[in-house]
A and B are shown apart, each in its own frame.
Chain A
Amino acid sequence: MAEIVLETKNITKMFPETIANKNISFNLKKGEIHALLGENGAGKTTLMNMLYGIYMPTNGDIFINGEKVTIKSPLDAIKLGIGMIHQHFMLVETLTVLENIILGLKEYGFIINKKAVKEKLREIENLYGLKVDSDIKVWQTTVGEQQRVEIIKVLFRGANILILDEPTAVLTPQETQGLFKILKRMKDDGKSIVFITHKLEEVMQIADTITVLRKGEVVKTLLKNETTKSELAKLMVGKTTLRDFQKNKKETNEVILNIENLTVYSDKGTKSLKSINLQVKKGEILGIAGISGNGQKELVQTIAGLKKVAKGKIIFNGLNITNKHPRFISRLGINYIPADRLAMGVAPNLSSIDNAIMRRYYRFPLSKKGLMNYKKAFAYTRMMTKAYKIKLDNPFAPIKLLSGGNMQKLILAREILENPKLLIASYPTRGLDIASTQFFRQKLIEIANKGKAVILASEDLDEILSLSDRIAVMYEGSIVGILEAEKADKNTIGLMMTGAKA
């Protein structure tokens, strides 16, 4: 049996409001890939942040190579040979790849000895097949390259234990396979890897051992060879059963939204949308796929009236809504669920009530001649929380204190209750547990079934594939192709996301 390099014993982490981890014991062996599997909010990232010195455990011990350790900061973790690849990359975009790699290191002299650095980079490249151009600035690299930089950074510091937090979330299927190859080479070299994910397929493909977490506790640790996908799914979710969606094919040929030659510039002055042509029909769910940063966000924001159109037209139900005010557009029946909920979905410091009524506070009965009727607002919020199963302990407290999942539910409920003719949903189920995800996906289908339309932009390809009627794939501000969902598969979409024509 291989030696244990990392062990946690009864780790508990309490935050003021919640217990994020409860009595977690788990161990990592030399040369294995250990998957930490669980839904969003199961406590995977919290656990790993304790191993990397970002949080301190409330209770419990951590052992590295059999020795008890206290990890107070990332620096301590690095010294113990632990490296973490965060879900949101920790890179300084204006610095070069090389500069990012040696950041914080003292071994390469006061005046940076680039030759020595490059020599070591070549060694790592030869060992693990990790190749990057070290002289370009990070902002010029792709997301896949940035992830490689993160991995190199960790290896460069001699890490033997690598923690990867949802590493495939931003990758195309092809890039994911590339990552897996690298991980296998590292494993063969004797490195130990913790792989945090909620994707069952990836676990079955790459992991040796699997520890399932649910609600902050370890449910079970199993060997990959002795388990199945459905067993893992049951462990992960608990009692809830998964069901398939029923879609009545009600798609018509009546166009509700017509986008012609749409060109939009980014804040940096570059084109973020290049002559887009797109039609949305009544009764359909149109998926928009693409690696983040390829224009999906700009497209949906432009339809919602949040970005200025430089060229082209947007016609909604025969009415030209190009460069109209966002409220005008929403009153016409286009509602928008933004992807970044804290930045755009809510006003974080306002109460849950204020946020819940944001779409209608200025209308009767919630206000009359400019005066708010808070009794009605409260009643409306109560109705919303009940109908959409939102857990709201204190509706008067700032909404930023809600959990991400509950906040997302409130945003979804707020927009759906406006009874939109066209609902634009950006990554609508981010941060929701499986039961709520199912609930809201069902809602989206109901909207389409009623003869209305939905635009679904998501980074989750599975979500897009299971809900959409048609899928538009974007790459560098253009639509590379539009596929019928029945004929589409992950592989084709993945290729198109990197610019290949359909």
Chain B
Amino acid sequence: MVHHSIYISLLANTIKAGTILLFPTIGEIFSERAGILNLGVEGMMLVGAFIGFIVSYITKNPYLGFIAGVIAGGIASLIHAFISITLRGNQIVSGLALTIFGGGFTTFYGQKWINMTLNNTLPIIKIPILNKIPYIGPIFFNQDLIVYLSYITVFVMWFILYRTTTGLNLRAVGENAKAANAMGISVYKVRYIWTFFGGLLAGAGGAYLTTSYAPFWLDSITAGRGWIAIALVIFAMWDPLKALFGAYLFGGINALQFQLQATGTTIPSAILNMLPYIGTFIVITISSIIVKTKHIKPPKELGIPYIREEK
């Protein structure tokens, strides 16, 4: 039984660590589906993590902190939206700038918060009945509210993408903006909405990190998770359901790394810290091969500014 409980706590932590990646991955999927490549995920996550942390700390309410982090991520994304949609700037440069900005901003204002710890983290809420299911219960239904919110987000967003007119408009804009415009869809509006949504979810990932998984503040606390999320978008082939698997796979690597460090292994910590990135290489290589053979393509308009013809 002892061994079992170790595995169950590892897997429960996998879900938690995976949730940090799941939100930004879903957000980036929707932003890219609209044709906007946002490489600022890492920056938006950092802003979300930082604001989430200090609001939780000050109000002593992790829910308020989480919400504040989500909004902060959304606001950060508007910088990218303005540059790449309205000004039609280069999306790669703008996204990288956003990531650098997020890092600089949180390092500067975070100095006095370094190594501070939250006393009130997101509480565990057991789901009645479901949490009694052997194995499944303690892993999936013995979590905090935000994890449950992430389950719902995946399925709701999948449904919106493939079954509703909103999702149809979004897919059309990302695949053929000119045709979408000819049918009376405002390309700019759709792109603003989903880039903002991507920012909200990146903020959610960051805020979840500091209000639950790692409730303290450190410089660059997201540690490249924003970049992993961008890689997961390709792994997921722009499909929210597949993002779930990718996020939990990397959540598992994170959790394992954490557990090994906690139990005192002889493997140097630097090697352990490398695990997620080595995993990223492997996953991207494999998924690129799959994408190539299955002829799945990124949204056609990805990274291309939309210019309405001159009147």
Interface residues of A (CB under 8 A from B): 15, 54-56, 73-75, 78, 84, 86, 89-95, 99, 102-106, 108-112, 153, 268-269
Contact = CB atoms under 8 A, between A and B. Distances in A.
A104 B169 contact: yes
B184 interface: yes
A84 B180 CA distance: 14
Nearest to A89: B179
B183 A112 contact: no
Given A110-B164, A111-B163, A111-B164, A103 B169 contact: yes
Contacts of A109: 165
Nearest to A13: B311
B152 interface: no
Given A15-B310, A54-B309, A91-B179, 20 more contacts: A73-B184, A74-B183, A75-B184, A78-B183, A84-B182, A90-B179, A92-B172, A93-B175, A93-B176, A94-B171, A95-B172, A103-B179, A104-B169, A104-B172, A104-B185, A106-B165, A110-B164, A110-B166, A111-B164, A112-B164
A110 B161 CA distance: 11
Of all A-B residue pairs in the complex, the 3 with the closest CB atoms, nearest first, are A104-B183, A75-B184, A90-B179
Nearest to B309: A54
Contacts of B184: 73-75, 78, 104
Contact of A103 (B163, B172, B295, B300): B172
Given A56-B311, A104-B184, A110 B165 contact: yes
B180 A103 contact: yes
B188 to A, nearest CB: 12
Interface residues of B, number: 24
Contacts of A86: 182
Nearest to A103: B183
Contacts of B293: 269
Contacts of B311: 54-56
A446 to B, nearest CB: 40
Contact of A91 (B168, B176, B185): B176
A75 B180 CA distance: 11
B182 A112 contact: no
A334 to B, nearest CB: 32
A90 B171 contact: no
Interface in B7-64: none
B171 A92 contact: yes
B259 interface: no
A167 B171 CA distance: 27
Nearest to A15: B310
Contacts of B261: none
B242 interface: no
Contacts of A54: 309, 311
Contacts of B178: 90
Nearest to A91: B179
B168 A112 contact: yes
A95 B168 contact: yes
Task: Name the residue in B171, B179, B310 with the highest tally of chain A Cβ atoms < 10 Å from its Cβ.
Answer: B179
Interface of B: 163-166, 168-169, 171-172, 175-176, 178-185, 293, 295, 300, 309-311
Contacts, number: 74
B175 A95 contact: yes
A105 B181 contact: no
29 contacts: A54-B311, A55-B309, A56-B311, A74-B181, A74-B182, A74-B184, A78-B184, A90-B179, A91-B176, A92-B180, A93-B175, A93-B176, A94-B171, A94-B175, A95-B168, A95-B172, A99-B172, A103-B179, A103-B185, A104-B169, A104-B180, A104-B183, A104-B184, A105-B165, A106-B165, A108-B165, A111-B164, A153-B183, A269-B293
B168 to A, nearest CB: 6
Contacts of B183: 74, 78, 90, 103-104, 153
Contacts of A108: 165
A389 B133 CA distance: 83
Contacts of B175: 92-95
B163 A102 contact: no
A20 to B, nearest CB: 12
Contacts of A111: 163-164
A111 B311 CA distance: 35
A103 B168 contact: yes
A427 to B, nearest CB: 23
Given A103-B172, A105-B165, A92 B309 contact: no
Contacts of B166: 110
A109 B183 CA distance: 17
Contacts of A73: 184
A2 B166 CA distance: 42
Nearest to A98: B168
Contacts of B310: 15, 55
B182 A90 contact: yes
A342 B135 CA distance: 61
Contacts of B163: 111-112
B176 A102 contact: no
Contact of A102 (B168, B180, B182, B295): B168
A109 B180 CA distance: 18
Nearest to B296: A94
B164 A92 contact: no
Given A75-B184, A103-B183, A112-B163, A90 B176 contact: yes
A43 to B, nearest CB: 16
A143 to B, nearest CB: 16
A74 B169 CA distance: 16
Contacts of B180: 92, 103-104
Nearest to B293: A269
Contacts of B185: 103-104
A93 B172 CA distance: 9
A80 B298 CA distance: 36
Contacts of B181: 74
